[in-house]
Amino acid sequence: MAPPGDGPRYGAVAFGLRWASDVPLHPFAEATLDEPADVTIGRVAALAPRDPVVTIANAILCSDGIRFAMDDGVTVDIYPPNRVDWMAGPDWSGRFQPQFFGTLTALLLAWRGTVPIHGTAVEIDGKAWLICGKSGAGKSTLGAALVASGAARLISDDLSALDRVDGAVPSLYAGRPGMRLFPAIARLMEQAGAGTAHSEPGNDKLIVEPPRVAPLPPIPLAAVILLGESETKLPWQKEALLREHRFRPRWMDAIPGHEARDRIIRLLAATVPMLFAPSADIRDSAAFMLRASTILERIRRLES
Amino acid sequence: MWTRDAECVGTEVEDALVLLDLDGGSYFALNGPAADIWNALAEPVTQAQLVDQLVAKYQVAPEQCAASVARVLDDLAGKGLARQAG
């Protein structure tokens, strides 16, 4: 295993950033280390003292970043915008746990000024469609159905990174290549030739890596698809709805720079259409395909 | 010359135009002539040009129109939605 100070040996790309690490970042898209990294992850023998501000769940917000205690005993010190130190615990397994690539990554992204959203996103004809809804509304399943139909490619699943490009265009960055899907949905993806399912320790869902967009360039948003929410045309109500679908909202309220992140959400609410659709519990192939064709028809109608 | 403030966007809601100040998070609804002025501010424009455009559209007396335009611009500037440049 990487001893302290070994230097980055693994490159990855995710959420618009180049990552360099001394531990493989499997859930991100692999990349070379030829280009300068935006974020460098390195093991340290001892953590530097920090200036704690407030404790939220298993992490401490500090004046200059975040200290995060992961479930496997690894402690991670985030120093935004570009450095992550980590110290192994006695049970270090050789790879970071999934929360490193979810919650912890979202905290770093937020500190850097992008807005982590709890939602799945797909690309259709060069534009991004962001799918939001409460847990169980069927975000990933709808994203999977659209990809399986052949009309869409994956941008991000579960954690999506929203930013404004050129100051005015709400856009998304490609996230993790894998989707976490119910086993039945994962099998339907396999049948459609849209990836191979594999399991992840400690998770009932299966991971499928379907066809996806290029890893770095931001993709302008066409619309937000809201599942199981009451329809509204009022931009301030849309803004409130989108705020509810921020990733780890308790954290997002605490991390500095929320004015800038709020601006991005407002810009999205005011300038990007919303498509309201019922949530759906999809179990079989017929329902899966019908779901894709129904939503695709509404997408085409909104586009024309 | 007058321009829109950079941190402000307009959005159509039903038949109304709603302006949003991205910085402050406030929403403002604009009526007909005020919405016309906002739309004209997409490119930098002088106060006199705005008056000319509205006189042509609404067939009103130039003096009366000039006073209304001044009032709307004042209002937009006060809310941080438009500003005088150059």
Model confidence pLDDT, tens digit, residues A136-159: 999 999 999 999 999 999 999 999
Model confidence pLDDT, tens digit, residues B10-50: 888 887 899 998 888 889 999 888 999 999 999 999 999 99
Give Cβ neighbours of residue A135 (< 8 Å, ≥ 6 apart): none
A212: exposed, middle or buried (Cβ count in 10 Å: 0-12, 13-18, 19+): buried
Q: Which site among A169, A259, A263 would you substitute to test the B interface, given the most B Cβ atoms closer than 10 Å to its Cβ?
A: A263
pLDDT > 70 fraction of chain A, expressed in percent and rounded: 98
Distance from CA of A298 to the nearest CA of B (A): 20
* pLDDT the model gives residue A5: 59
CA of B19: which chain A residue's CA is closest? A270
Question: Tokens 């409130």 label which residue?
Answer: A240
CA of A232: which chain B residue's CA is closest? B13
Residue B60 belongs to what H/E stretch? none
What is the tally of helices (H) and strands (E) in chain B? 3, 5
pLDDT confidence band for A1 (50 / 70 / 90) = very low
Structural domain boundaries in chain B: 2-84
Residue B46 belongs to what H/E stretch? none
CA of B8: which chain A residue's CA is closest? A267
Residue A179 has pLDDT above 60, yes or no: yes
Select from A303, A235, A286, A225 the least CA-distant residue to A265: A235
CA of A273: which chain B residue's CA is closest? B11
ipTM: 0.77
Residue A75 has pLDDT above 50, yes or no: yes
Query: Which three-class secondary structure state does DSSP give residue B42?
Result: coil
Residue A3 has pLDDT above 60, yes or no: no
* pLDDT the model gives residue B31: 84
* pLDDT the model gives residue A289: 96
For residues A259-281, give the mean pLDDT: 94
Tokens, residue B8? 């402000």
Residue A85 has pLDDT above 90, yes or no: yes
Give Cβ neighbours of residue B80 (< 8 Å, ≥ 6 apart): B5, B7, B8, B21, B23, B24
Tokens, residue A137? 């509304």
Model confidence pLDDT, tens digit, residues A111-124: 999 999 999 999 99
Closest partner CB to A271 (pick from B6, B11, B25) = B11
CB < 8 Å to A239, chain B: 25
CB < 8 Å to B22, chain A: 263, 266-267
B14–chain A Cβ distance below 8 A for any pair: yes
Distance from CA of A264 to the nearest CA of B (A): 8
Residue A276 has pLDDT above 90, yes or no: yes
Partnered with residue A176 across adjacent β-strands are: none
Model confidence pLDDT, tens digit, residues A201-211: 888 999 999 99
For residues A57-63, give the mean pLDDT: 95
Query: Which three-class secondary structure state does DSSP give residue B13?
Result: strand
- Whole-angstrom CA distances from A190 to A74, A117, A145, A179, B45 are 35, 27, 12, 13, 58
Distance from CA of B74 to the nearest CA of A (A): 24
Considering the domain delimited by A115-303, tell me its CATH architecture: 3-Layer(aba) Sandwich (3.40)
* pLDDT the model gives residue B7: 82
Domain B2-84 classified CATH 1.10.540? no
Q: Which site among B4, B5, B11, B28 would you substitute to test the A interface, given the most A Cβ atoms closer than 10 Å to its Cβ?
A: B11
A168 against A263, higher pLDDT: A263
B15–chain A Cβ distance below 8 A for any pair: no
Structural domain boundaries in chain A: 10-111, 115-303
B64–chain A Cβ distance below 8 A for any pair: no
Residue A254 has pLDDT above 90, yes or no: yes
CA of A237: which chain B residue's CA is closest? B27
Indicate yes or no: CB of A234 within 8 angstroms of CB of B22: no
Indicate yes or no: CB of A267 within 8 angstroms of CB of B9: yes
B80–chain A Cβ distance below 8 A for any pair: no
Indicate yes or no: CB of B13 within 8 angstroms of CB of A235: yes
* pLDDT the model gives residue B80: 86
Residue B17 belongs to what H/E stretch? strand B16-21
Amino acid present at A146: L
B86–chain A Cβ distance below 8 A for any pair: no
Residue A4 has pLDDT above 90, yes or no: no
